[in-house]
A and B are shown apart, each in its own frame.
Chain A
Amino acid sequence: MSRALLLPQVFKIKTIKRLTPDTLLYEVTDQDGNFDLSYRPGQFMEVSIFGSGECPISITSTPSRPQHIEFAVREVGLVSGAMHNLEPSEHIGLRGPFGNGFPIDALKGKDIFFIAGGIGLAPLRSLINYMLDHREDFGAIDIVYGARSPELLCFAEEFAAWQEAPDTRLHLTIDKETPGWQGKVGFVPAIVKELGLPPRDRAAIACGPPVMIKFTLLDLAALGYPDEDVITTLELKMKCGVGKCGRCNIGPIYVCREGPVFRLSELNRLPAEY
């Protein structure tokens, strides 16, 4: 009998690390201690906490490091809250991977401009680490990452590795001046503008809170980025993840199926209902 559509598989939590006061990083394995699952950066899974429910979470690990799979989860409600109460060696359910993922082949050979705010770094981290593991396939990499304050920056442990990677620059920013802070100060869109990286042969990939995205897109347009070269991921309420429950549509498309990664040129063809 084929597997029921909405039936998750049980996996074990191997480690839990605190990324920020409200965000934890979960490393998940199957019973044999590894994780046999193929996925693409930018895809997501439906994560189950039995007794509370299910919610869509981006895969933040990269398939180029196949020994584990990781999720960064911010506590915001019922399921994410229940997940924060779990301990290592407890279990979660997973369905997926779902969604289209980033257009990796189309990005090959290009310079890449990552722009992230807060938990929005989670899906981008998958692609960043993938690109660093296939460094020769991609051009220069610039990463602008911002949060309100230094302790709200996720994945701080990895910043050094990103900065040291060849032809890769990390531009960290926080909203307000804080004692001891070495990076930039200001909102993410302002830093994008300040850097002024020219669009020639460069794709911009942005993920973060709606206001950040809104202003970043305006600044990228002002810098002359064509809409085909601006990529973002969308977050809409989801239930099934497979285009059946009718929850996540924007006009004729379902974000869980055709998304969550879109080029701005594709979004422009959709009604502005997201």
Chain B
Amino acid sequence: MNRINKVLNKKREILSIYFTAGFPDLSDTTSIIKSLDNCGVDMIEIGLPFSDPLADGPTIQESSTKALKNGMTTKKLFEQLKGLRKETNIPLIIMGYFNPIMQYGVESFCKDCELAGIDGLIIPDLPVEIYNNNYKTIFEKYNLLNMFLITPQTSDKRIRFIDEISSGFIYMVSSFSITGSVNSFKKEQTKYFERINKMNLSSPLIIGFGISNKQTYLDAIKNSNGAIIGSAFIKHLKKYGVGKVSDFINKIRN
């Protein structure tokens, strides 16, 4: 069974952490993964940096720009991940935009993901329909789950469709927002979480975008199977460096 599904089956209150590969330094990728695993994080999203990350806010735009300046490339990331699976069993997801993947070749990319021990992908600008018609069989051939996003504007009908074709979790965008935009959840958001929960979807839900501290994490896991933290973690990395990863996680969890 795919490592993502295993974690989803076993537990709720999942904590997933996003970071940008190659940030703060080019060679930090694997040590960040190992530290996150050591302090009990359940799942990791490795951001493949892109020059024009449309769905991301200033924090991730900045970490991506820095990572690219450091020399991060798709090929480089796969090189860095080589051998990592001997050391960790944590589910690994690559989050990246479609253009770099297209230039690498979708099939070559998926193949190298499997070789590197990647379990799934999140590609915000690859719409569900295009994935379903053109790429689903390739992803499946290499045992990669593809996670889709839903937002407060996604209609019930579309959510049902997404639920049907999802094999991992549904990534529930917390609000009308790009990443990194909010500090606390408002009433409408809680209402939206409740609306989705009432739909009794078969896919687990993980909430992301705007989870920045213990409070928003707790609010999120009340309404879902778990939460993804990105921008807040990147800010922490930028300020305190790779050595202090556990401080951040402990503040969220304890």
**A and B are interacting partners:** no
Interface residues in chain B, defined as those with a beta carbon under 8 Å from any beta carbon in chain A: none
Interface residues in chain A, defined as those with a beta carbon under 8 Å from any beta carbon in chain B: none
